[in-house]
Structure 1
Amino acid sequence: MRRQTATSGINPAGSGRALRLDPLSLPLRFDAQDTRADGGVRQIELHRERVVLRRAVKGMQMAVNVRVSDFLGVALRGLDDAQMLVLVHRDPSLNIPLGVSSDAEELSTAWQMWSEIFALPQLPEDKRRDPAQRRRRHNAIRARRPKFLVRRRAGDLLNPANLHQGEREIIARD
């Protein structure tokens, strides 16, 4: 069995031809379409525990290393004339194509195999995921007071009921 690499004759993902990756021959290395990358192509390395995405954006080389457990699952997406098997991440730019075919039976067996190998759930086609919410950025003002004091309301100093004037103070010493 030959390795599936970018130079072994396997068609790049999204090239219009059928993409069939073998889940039993991990690790895999292949090219996929990426609209933001230089040249419109990114390299993907699939391992059992991690995925490495390599691309260049405006001349800057980058490699993104993502654990397989960080992915949501394996989904089946419909295209115009075929269906695509995708490894789905919260961030849509990290989604990875695993296979494209018009044969429904072939895709269902591949869907099951990829799901078992990565120990991820099979996601239904119609369930669309929203992108992850943006993280709150560090607020410089919040650092001035402890968190529980920020949540507390400040006392009202102008309320005359809280003012005690002209009274003797009792202090216990010892």
Structure 2
Amino acid sequence: MRQTAVAGAATANMEPGFRLDPFAMPVRQTSLPDSPAFILDRQRAVLRRPLGGQQATMTVPVSAYAGVSVRIEPVGTAGDIRVVVELMHDDPALTLPLVVASAPEDAAADWIAWGRALNLPLLVVESDGTVRMTAARMG
């Protein structure tokens, strides 16, 4: 799988320390700025976001997602990083943040667990935006 990803706007300004638990589904995210509120279970994501001055609700089947992605981003100038695990969709507006951590080892287990829980491929987003699949479905 080779495609170019657009870094998720929902995680661009997020600080490390955000985590949804893949073992406690359904999970609910309502607190992140610049991210839709959503409920996620093994079959679907139900998103709520502003549209034309009102709240729109959209249901997206988990099977419509490309996979569970991980990317590492530099933060500041001191060599710090942010590791972001997302439920990646071809439409960046539907990509959902799952984990934001400051160390790869903190996010790695969750990245694998989310892939297994949702039966989706594990994806790596390279620094140039290229997305590659690392393993077959994890279910």
With normalisation by structure 2, the TM-score equals 0.72
Q: CA deviation at 1:60?
A: 2.0
* Equivalent residue letter for 2:111: W
State the partner residue of 2:107: 107
CA distance in 1, matches of 2:105, 2:16: 18
State the partner residue of 2:17: 18
Q: Which runs of 5+ in 2 are unaligned?
A: 1-9, 75-80, 132-139
* Equivalent residue letter for 2:108: S
Overall identity of the aligned pairs, in %: 33
**What does 1:45-56 correspond to in 2, within 5 Å?**
45-56=39-50
Question: Which structure is larger by alpha-carbon Rg, 1 or 2?
Answer: 1
State the partner residue of 1:124: 124
How many residues are paired up?
112
Q: CA deviation at 1:119?
A: 0.3
Which protein is richer in strand relative to its size?
2
State the partner residue of 2:3: none
State the partner residue of 2:27: 28
Which protein is richer in helix relative to its size?
1
CA distance in 2, matches of 1:15, 1:100: 7
Q: CA deviation at 1:77?
A: 1.4
**What does 1:35-50 correspond to in 2, within 5 Å?**
41-50=35-44
Q: Which runs of 5+ in 1 are unaligned?
A: 1-11, 35-40, 130-174
CA distance in 2, matches of 1:69, 1:56: 24
Q: Work out whether 1:93 is the aligned partner of 2:93.
A: yes
State the partner residue of 1:133: none
